């Protein structure tokens, strides 16, 4: 039993491994993270593994980080904010977004320093930049508005990536919950990247605005039912139907990446980038920290193949 009375899953024997990593969160049963990282390690010839730790017990997790074999962790909900006080350092991305999804180590003054960062924003960035249409470059998005659909944690990472790396501005926010949007606006402004944010509240307002070039959808896949959800969907459809097109990253990929919004976007002539792309590139950014290798030296093609196979098997 964990210290809070919760039953923690029994961890496998790691005596045969040279490096141990944990996926720490709850629930994590459907996560493709362990498969992604195992594919990397197998292709690099590393005797490493990411072990699922389905738990809400932070003290227990912190105890596991003392293992000399422990080299890092993927941190998911509900720990992305709660883990921050336990870190020795956090990168600028982690500070600005206010969430940590990755733990790694570095040496400082002869000591092992536990650091945190946020690679979700890199996942959004590279999902766009690694899937640019032939003959174009990232200037496709620079100077054009961006659009983020949603108001949760992924929304902040999306805003950060659109602002910092894709050069989008202004950035529209569309969401059914006004209070969530206000929290995003406040947090992003405090962190210094929220001045260009604009809450688009109605279909009438959307009609007056320029078309976005890059869209990130960060909401679950379900048909709109409430008045607020219906209005938000109208706003989204107005933007999608404007003459100028671009690319939309649909972050939702479980149980299927082919969501209602993705289907509408495809029908209206948008390039649809599946959410598995963001998941893969944020994972490869994690492995960049853990292995010290650059993105070009990591087995991206093999990871894409493994994730596609897993999705296909799940959908049968």
Query: For the chain, which domains are there?
Result: 19-118 (3.40.50.10860), 122-276 (3.40.50.720)
User: What confidence score (pLDDT) does residue 264 get?
Assistant: 96
Lookup: tokens for 145: 């508005």
Helix (H, G, I), strand (E, B) or coil at 40: helix
What pLDDT, on a 0 to 100 scale, did the predictor assign at position 12? 80
Question: CB-based contacts of 169: which residues, under 8 Å, 6+ apart?
Answer: 143, 145, 146, 163, 196
Nearest-10 crossing angle of helices 33-44, 300-315: 140
Looking at the DSSP assignment, which residues form a beta bridge with residue 105?
A: 114
Q: What are the percentages of helix, strand and coil residues in the chain, rounded to 5? A: 40, 20, 40
Cβ atoms 275, 252 nearer than 8 A: yes
Q: Structure tokens of 197?
A: 């944010």
Kind of pairing between the strands at 19-25 and 89-90 = unpaired
pLDDT at 8: 52
**What would the DSSP string read from start to end of 280-291?**
HHHHHHHHHHHH
The pTM is what? 0.92
How far, in Å, are 2, 22, 25, 49, 55 from residue 11 at the CA level?
Answer: 13, 10, 14, 12, 11
pLDDT at 139: 80
Strand, helix or coil for residue 55:
coil
Contact 39, 291 (CB under 8 A): no
Query: Which residue ranges in the chain fall short of pLDDT 70?
Result: 1-9, 316
**Dihedrals φ, ψ of 27, to 5°?**
-85, 155
Say what the pLDDT of residue 254 is. Answer: 73
Which DSSP helix (H) or strand (E) runs through 215? strand 214-217
- Beta strand 111-117 pairing with 146-149: unpaired
3-state secondary structure of 245: coil
d(CA 280, CA 292): 17
The pLDDT, as a whole number, for residue 7 is 47
Spatial distance between the Cα atoms of 91 and 300, rounded to a whole number of angstroms: 24
pLDDT of residue 9: 58
Phi, psi of 159 (to 5 degrees): -60, -45
CB 191 within 8 A of CB 95: yes
pLDDT for 5: 45
DSSP state of 120: H
Burial of 251 (0-12, 13-18, 19+ CB in 10 A): buried
d(CA 52, CA 114): 20
Task: Give the span between the Cα atoms of 5 and 174, in whole angstroms.
Answer: 40
Instruction: Give the pLDDT confidence score for residue 35 in this predicted structure.
Output: 97
197 beta partners: 171
Determine the Cα–Cα distance for residues 210 and 10; give it in Å rounded to an integer: 53
End-to-end CA distance of the chain: 36
Strand order, beta sheet including 70-75: 48-54, 19-25, 70-75, 102-108, 111-117, 89-90
Res 275: pLDDT: 92
In this predicted structure, what is the pLDDT of residue 155?
Answer: 93
């Amino acid at each position: 039993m964990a210290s809070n009375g919760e039953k923690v899953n029994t961890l496998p024997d790691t005596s045969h491994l040279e490096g141990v990593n944990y996926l720490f969160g709850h629930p994590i049963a459907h996560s493709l993270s362990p498969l992604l990282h195992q594919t990397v390690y197998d292709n690099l010839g590393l005797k490493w593994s990411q072990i699922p730790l389905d738990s809400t017990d932070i003290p227990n997790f912190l105890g596991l980080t003392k293992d000399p074999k422990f080299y890092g962790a993927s941190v998911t909900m509900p720990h992305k904010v709660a883990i921050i006080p336990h870190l020795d350092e956090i990168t600028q991305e982690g500070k600005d977004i206010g969430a940590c999804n990755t733990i790694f180590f570095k040496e400082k003054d002869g000591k092992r320093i536990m650091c945190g960062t946020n690679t979700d924003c890199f996942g959004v960035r590279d999902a766009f930049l690694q899937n640019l249409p032939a003959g174009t470059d990232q200037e496709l998005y620079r100077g054009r508005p961006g659009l983020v659909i949603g108001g949760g944690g992924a929304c902040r990472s999306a805003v950060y990536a659109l602002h910092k790396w894709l050069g989008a501005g202004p950035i529209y926010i569309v969401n059914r919950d006004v209070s969530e949007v206000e929290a995003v606006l406040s947090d992003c402004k405090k962190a210094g990247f929220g001045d260009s944010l604009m809450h688009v509240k109605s279909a009438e307002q959307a009609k007056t605005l320029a078309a976005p070039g890059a869209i990130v959808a960060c909401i679950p896949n379900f048909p709109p039912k409430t008045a607020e959800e219906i209005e938000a969907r109208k706003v989204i459809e107005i933007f999608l139907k404007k003459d100028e097109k671009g690319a939309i990253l649909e972050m939702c990929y479980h149980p299927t990446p082919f969501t209602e919004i993705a289907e509408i976007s495809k029908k209206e002539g948008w390039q649809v980038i599946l959410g598995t792309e963001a998941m893969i590139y944020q994972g490869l950014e994690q492995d960049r920290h853990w292995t010290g290798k650059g993105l070009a030296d990591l087995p991206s093609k093999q990871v894409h193949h493994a994730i596609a196979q897993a999705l296909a098997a799940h959908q049968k």
